[in-house]
């Protein structure tokens, strides 16, 4: 049975396991090595090359790479990222098992391809993953839905999609200066709940059955706000939750919950 298991998901840290109980891949390592190891143990999976065959990094911001250094030190798991992200992470080069994700990845179990996203970093990407008969997409940290992302994610059975902020909450947040608000809401920032809902509709129309809302801001969003925005928009357009699709919100840190598809 295929599973997607959000280990952590927020502006503070992001990591997602995809596979079966005991074996799979990870997208992003944005929490500590210990946190990832403990989380995987809850679903009977080891954080080593026997349990995780590869790690795929979306970009170099700390909430996506916090655990990378210890992964390299303590395991032999290969790490994949875009050429730009690799250069940003290792400006002087590295002898570690780090590979260019743009060349794609294929094993006996998985086929993974990268697509460009729009974020203020060296070269951010998202990933489309084929595992058996199931297809998964992971798309966070993008100010707009790029044409590449739209094409790659169309038809995926399960998609973890950014729903970072509520526009009104961001506007009223007195702790955020105007330039930070412009960055978040700009073309190279993050997807709002409204942006997410509009893309979610296109995904469901393309055949997506399971949507997971991820990378929620803890300051400018709530799980209920994000979920209601997407559900209401899809309902207005004739698609009903639990009938036409299922909708989940990824937890900030896991308590062992996974989604079987």
Domain ranges, residue 61: 3-260
Whether the Cβ atoms of residue 166 and residue 193 lie closer than 8 Å to each other = yes
Chain segment 66-78, per-residue pLDDT in tens: 999 999 999 999 9
Quote the tokens at residue 201: 């509709």
Q: Is the confidence at residue 227, as pLDDT, over 80?
A: yes
Q: What residue spans of the chain are helical by DSSP H?
A: 33-41, 62-65, 68-74, 83-89, 147-153, 167-172, 178-185, 193-206, 223-236
End-to-end CA distance of the chain: 7
Q: What is the pLDDT of residues 14-65, one digit of tens each?
A: 999 999 999 999 999 999 999 999 999 999 999 999 999 999 999 999 999 9
Over residues 142-173, the pLDDT tens digits come to: 999 999 999 999 999 999 999 999 999 999 99
Torsion, Cα of 52, 58, 150, 217 (10° steps): 110
As a whole number, mean pLDDT of residues 178-198 equals 98
pLDDT at res. 128: 98
Q: At what angle do helices 223-236 and 193-206 cross, to 10 degrees?
A: 50
226: pLDDT strictly greater than 80: yes
- Would the pLDDT of 260 be above 80? no
Residue 258 has pLDDT above 90, yes or no: no
% residues pLDDT > 70 (the chain): 100
Total structural domains in the chain? 1
Is the per-residue pLDDT at 1 higher than 80? no
d(CA 137, CA 244): 18
Closest CA to 60 of 153, 113, 123, 105: 123
- Torsion angle defined by CA atoms of residues 47, 259, 140 and 182, in that order, rounded to the nearest 10 degrees: -120
**Cα–Cα distance list, 251 to 10, 29, 156, 223 (Å):** 8, 15, 22, 9
Tell me the mean pLDDT in the region 205-223.
97
- pLDDT tens-digit map of 65-114: 999 999 999 999 999 999 999 999 999 999 899 999 999 999 999 999 99
- In the chain, the percentage of residues whose pLDDT exceeds 90 is 95
What is the rounded CA–CA span in Å between residue 189 and residue 182?
A: 8
Spatial distance between the Cα atoms of 169 and 227, rounded to a whole number of angstroms: 15
The alpha-carbon radius of gyration of the chain (Å, integer) is 17
Q: How many CA atoms lie within 13 A of 170 on its CB side?
A: 23
Q: Please, are residues 194 and 236 in contact by the beta-carbon 8 Å criterion?
A: no
Q: What is the pLDDT of residue 255?
A: 84
CATH number for the domain that contains residue 202: 3.60.15.10
């Amino acid at each position: 049975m295929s599973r997607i298991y959000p280990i952590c998901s927020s502006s503070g840290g992001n990591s997602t396991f995809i596979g079966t109980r005991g074996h799979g891949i990870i997208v992003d390592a944005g929490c500590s090595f210990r946190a990832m190891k403990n989380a995987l143990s809850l679903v009977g999976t080891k954080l080593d090359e026997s349990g995780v065959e590869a790690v795929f990094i979306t970009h170099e911001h700390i909430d996506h790479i916090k655990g990378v250094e210890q992964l390299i030190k303590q395991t032999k798991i290969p790490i994949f990222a875009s050429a730009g992200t690799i250069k940003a992470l290792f400006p002087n080069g590295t002898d570690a098992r780090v590979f260019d994700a743009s060349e794609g990845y294929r094993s006996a179990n998985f086929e993974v391809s990268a697509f460009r996203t729009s974020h203020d970093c060296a070269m951010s990407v998202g990933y489309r993953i084929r595992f058996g008969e199931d297809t998964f997409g992971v798309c966070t940290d993008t100010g707009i839905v790029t044409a590449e992302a739209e094409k790659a994610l169309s038809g995926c059975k399960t998609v973890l999609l950014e729903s970072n902020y509520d526009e009104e909450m961001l506007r009223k947040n007195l702790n955020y200066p105007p330039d930070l608000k412009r960055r978040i809401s700009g073309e190279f920032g993050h997807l709002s709940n409204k942006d997410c809902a509009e893309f979610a509709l296109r995904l469901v129309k393309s055949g997506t059955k399971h949507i997971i809302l991820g990378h929620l801001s803890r300051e400018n969003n709530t799980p209920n706000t994000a979920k209601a925005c997407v559900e209401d928009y899809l309902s207005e357009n004739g698609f009903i939750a639990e009938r036409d699709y299922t909708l989940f919100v990824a937890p900030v840190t896991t308590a062992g919950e996974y989604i079987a598809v």
